[in-house]
Chains A and B, each alone.
Chain A
Amino acid sequence: EAGVAQSPRYKIIEKRQSVAFWCNPISGHATLYWYQQILGQGPKLLIQFQNNGVVDDSQLPKDRFSAERLKGVDSTLKIQPAKLEDSAVYLCASSLGPGTADYGYTFGSGTRLTVV
């Protein structure tokens, strides 16, 4: 089974620039998550999709962050404009969804963003 694919692996941008991250979940996984992990901390959930609909985006800084999941498969997370404090690893995860017996997430390797 192919894992969760993310790109790019690394990205360095200047503050106030924009950036986009891409995620391709495991085939058949209905639920997709974006997490932000700041150095030394555990991952923090930004947004959860069920198919192509948003289930929870309460932790997403909507003034600068946006995410979409067209056709219920791939997803993109965008930051515009970036701030220094956005420097972090952005992790994408997918799962079969609530109600399934073995309800675990599979994470991608993440995109490490450095804002300078």
Chain B
Amino acid sequence: DAKTTQPTSMDCAEGRAANLPCNHSTISGNEYVYWYRQIHSQGPQYIIHGLKNNETNEMASLIITEDRKSSTLILPHATLRDTAVYYCIVRGAGGTSYGKLTFGQGTILTVHP
């Protein structure tokens, strides 16, 4: 599986946009980028995923670079409830890795009042 690199922690002011970067330089052409978050004492929650094009849903936007080697998750107006660990994951595309989500350490996002 392609590995991802994320900053260990980030801070953001409430109401401002939170931009969480992720590097996945070894991603292959048919592997998707997924973002999940985990709020304390809960299971991970799906946020968004994409292959090549930028994606947007009610929770966030995902910007994937043209070479697909990095991406950015954008929370447009962060709230205190967005404080969580954010995981960037490259989903396995073949063999025994097909469909699997392998989690790394993630980024601890803290939203301040």
Partner of A56, one of B43, B96, B101: B96
Task: Report which A residues bind B (CB closer than 8 A).
Answer: 4, 31, 35, 41-45, 48, 55-56, 58, 91, 93, 95, 97-98, 103-110
CB of A43 within 8 A of CB of B103, answer yes
Residues of B in contact with A (beta carbons under 8 Å apart): 32, 34, 41-46, 49, 85, 87, 91, 96, 98-106
Alpha-carbon separation in the docked complex, A56 to B98 (Å): 10
Choose one: A42, A97, A104; the contact of B34 (CB below 8 Å). A104
Q: Which residues of B contact A98 (CB under 8 A)?
A: 98-99
Indicate if the CB atoms of A91 and B43 lie closer than 8 Å: yes
CB pair B43–A110 under 8 Å, yes or no, is yes
Q: Please list 13 pairs of residues, one from A and one from B, whose beta carbons are closer than 8 Å in the complex, sorted by A's number.
A: A4-B43, A42-B87, A42-B103, A42-B106, A43-B44, A45-B100, A45-B102, A91-B43, A93-B44, A95-B99, A104-B34, A107-B45, A109-B42
For the complex, what is the distance from the CA of A107 to the CA of B41, rounded to whole Å? 12
Apart from the given pairs A45-B101, A93-B43, A105-B101, 9 other A-B contacts in the complex at a CB distance below 8 Å: A42-B87, A56-B100, A58-B96, A91-B44, A103-B32, A104-B46, A107-B45, A110-B42, A110-B43
